[in-house]
Amino acid sequence: MRDSNGIAVIDGLNCAPVTRAQIERTLAGRVAAMNFTSLRPNASLESSMSELARLLEVVAENADIACIVTSASEIAGARAAGKLGIILGTQDSTFLQHDLGVLAAMQRIGYRILEPTYMEQNELGCGVVVEHDTGLTRLGHEWVERMNALNLLIDLSHAGYRTAADVVAASRRPVHVSHANARALCPSVRNLPDELIRAVAAKGGTVGATLWPPILCLDRRPTVEDFCDQIQYLVNLVGVEHVAFGSDLSEGRYKTQQQWEKSFGPQGLYPSVGGAAGPWYTFENRVSVGFESMARTSDLTDALLRRQLGEAAVERIMGENLLRVYREVWDGSVASGLTGRD
């Protein structure tokens, strides 16, 4: 996926507030499209729809530089027009567990990527902070069937290991992990064991290495080089065709230290995740060194190229692999990428 400015990127997961300034920073980093967390985890259906309405208003107000995209061809069209393609996604399905028929409405609205559960347990399955993961429930199996039937992409970034393994086994389509790292390099509960990474790859999906500090390095503040180490490990484990990128960058979300500490600080909502990091993990050090803004996304591409992975491989990791999975799940096509290459 390349244009005159170099390799263009698809961000597998982004949760920064959408503003004109943030869209401009993201475009400056050569990002073609991003899977945007448009609904808060564990929110009600009512509040979720209100959040969606506000997002759509912002995108409409900035239609000259951004648009909602629902297909690989629309991502290509947005890129050609110089716009950021915003993919509607959620990191949780708790808001619709009372009525899985809502999935059809979400698909019709434009949603394309959903996770079954966030960190906790819901009626579909268990998240990664649940001590005893009981696996995918009967309702969870129905959720997988409906997701497959509606050509919606399943994301397993926050699912517990047993629940995730059950989803992989049950799905008839590729699944992916938009933003998690290999537990072998960083032993966070949010990261994946090798056997689960292999299972996702065997299903045809991708694992997106991420730069969120508490799941990139525990004993010190991580850097872009730690991200590159994760990429290389994943490539060696499952092959370059199953590795992707998900920034998980909350740029501009936290205005004060108190706000951050209550949410994703060491003793915030999920101390078993944030609290596992060393004392270096503070408000001032809440992002990885070298990736403080989406405007620096192209620096990640440059860092991977310095690792001698090869330009074609980096192009796949930073965009083409996700585009292939989007295509296969959303419309079943295996057409060429944004550049028109087969």
Per-chain mean pLDDT for the chain: 93
Task: Kindly tell me if the per-residue pLDDT of 341 is higher than 60.
Answer: no
What is the sign, positive or negative, of the torsion defined by CA atoms of 3, 6, 12, 18? negative
Q: Is the pTM value of this prediction over 0.75?
A: yes
Residue closest to 323 by CA, chosen among 79, 62, 18, 15: 79
**What is the average per-residue pLDDT within 133-147?**
98
Identify the pLDDT of residue 5: 53
* pLDDT tens digits, one per residue of 224-247: 999 999 999 999 999 999 999 999
CA-to-CA dists, residue 202 to 81, 92, 130, 233, 237, angstroms = 35, 24, 26, 17, 12
Which domain does 268 fall in, by range?
Answer: 91-243+251-330
Domain count, the chain: 1
Residue closest to 159 by CA, chosen among 91, 233, 96: 91
Identify the pLDDT of residue 327: 96
Q: Does any domain span residue 255?
A: yes
Q: Does any domain span residue 173?
A: yes
Kindly report which listed range (8-17, 24-33, 108-117, 330-339) carries the lowest average pLDDT score: 330-339
Identify the pLDDT of residue 6: 66
Identify the pLDDT of residue 40: 83
Q: Does any domain span residue 59?
A: no
Residue 184 makes CB contacts below 8 A (sequence gap 6+) with 193, 194, 233
**What is the average per-residue pLDDT within 299-322?**
95
Q: What is the CATH number of the domain that holds 263?
A: 3.20.20.140
Q: Does any domain span residue 205?
A: yes
Residue closest to 203 by CA, chosen among 238, 230, 231: 238
Q: Does any domain span residue 316?
A: yes
Q: Does any domain span residue 68?
A: no
Residue closest to 190 by CA, chosen among 276, 261, 95: 276
Task: Kindly tell me if the per-residue pLDDT of 210 is higher than 60.
Answer: yes
Q: Does any domain span residue 24?
A: no
Between the two ends of the chain, the Cα-to-Cα distance in Å is 11
- Burial of 78-99, coded b for 16+ CB within 10 Å and e otherwise, reads bbeeebbbbbbbbbbbbbbbee
